[in-house]
Amino acid sequence: MRITRRTFGGIGLAALGAMAPRRLAAQAKSPTVANGRRYLHYDVFTDTPLAGNQLAVFLEPQGLEAAAMAAMTKETNFSECTFVFPAEAAGTDVRLRIFGRNGEMPFAGHPVIGSTFALADTGAIAAGRTEFVFGLGIGPTPVELEWKGGALAFAWMTQQKPVFGQTLGSRDAFAAALGLDTAALLGDLPIQEVSCGSMFLMIPLATRAAVDRVAPDQRALDAVFKQSGVQRRGLFVFSPEAGTDGATVYSRMLGATFEDPATGSASGPLGSYLVKHAIVKPADAQTIVSAQGVKMGRPSRIHIRIDGTAQEITRVRVGGSSVLVGEGRLRSGD
């Protein structure tokens, strides 16, 4: 056989290709993360991977200071992370510390739901148990558990009874600051502060298309809030217009610098607003569903149950599912 320059090159490449896997195998190492803390990565308020709201749950945080937990949360670039500690208060099962972009938070929704699934998946919550109580910054927070085939299928957190705050009167200026015409607002329903542990500004719009069109002008918003004497809050825009997804409302939560794909802490206030202002009848308030995160490509389904009447709401629950999508270890910086 006559070996030309081309065939010699081919033989050389083939030989190198055959040697490569053995050489790589010999050189392969298993890197370790020094001082790494194990975490589980969940997508919350969804049962579909890569949807819903992301959460990292750190199950072994003993010894970490608040500054380290805040830095680790920033490293993930998630909206929140949770750190599970032994119970501190009587009547609670664990102490859950929640950190967000701006530090520790006394209360939040999707971190509680996602952490419930993490504890169930790791066996810290025994299969079949019907209630679990988290110690949060705002106090004990009970969660009801629903199981299917030995696995946690759904979790319902109880939130505080609603507090209805101020209303925003400058409707024309406020609509313009959102990039909308005044006609996009839903009738004469109030733009109102509501809290079930965290305060949000509820903004009812006439159509889903209007919800998607919202594009806040931050300077104009600041001016409207200042003129109205109302503190700047997270903007929760929603519409009860029916859609093919079967949701009660279609929603978005807009902060000053970010949009949230699923906001459990705003969903209790949302359900309370819907009942108080007769958008949802009390008889239908056990099956409220908010479709959030669709506009930003991370669809979520947040379930809400409101007990009571428009005049007196006696109980607020927010629920959903979660799916485990990843795990890893993260350095604490020490």
Q: What is the pLDDT of residues 19-50, one digit of tens each?
A: 455 555 556 776 777 778 999 999 999 999 99
- The arithmetic mean of pLDDT across residues 78-97, rounded, is 97
Percent of the chain's residues with pLDDT above 70: 91
Please check the confidence at residue 6 and state whether its pLDDT lies above 80. Answer: no
More confident: 29 or 250: 250
Predicted local confidence at residue 21, as pLDDT: 57
177 shares a domain with 301? yes
Please check the confidence at residue 296 and state whether its pLDDT lies above 80. Answer: yes
137 shares a domain with 185? no
Residue range of the domain that includes 191: 163-317
CATH of the domain at 118: 3.10.310.10
The gap between the terminal CA atoms of the chain, to the nearest Å, is 64
Predicted local confidence at residue 323, as pLDDT: 98
**Residue 6 resides in a domain:** no
Predicted local confidence at residue 141, as pLDDT: 97
224 shares a domain with 115? no
238 forms beta bridges with 204, 251
What's the gap between Cα 330 and its chain centre? Answer: 21
327 shares a domain with 287? no
298 shares a domain with 172? yes
Say how far apart CA 64 and CA 47 lie, in whole Å.
31
**Residue 26 resides in a domain:** no
Counting the structural domains of the chain, the total is 2
pTM score over 0.75: yes
299 shares a domain with 185? yes
136 shares a domain with 40? yes
- Paired tokens of 58: 């750190």
**Residue 28 resides in a domain:** no
277 shares a domain with 231? yes
Predicted local confidence at residue 16, as pLDDT: 43
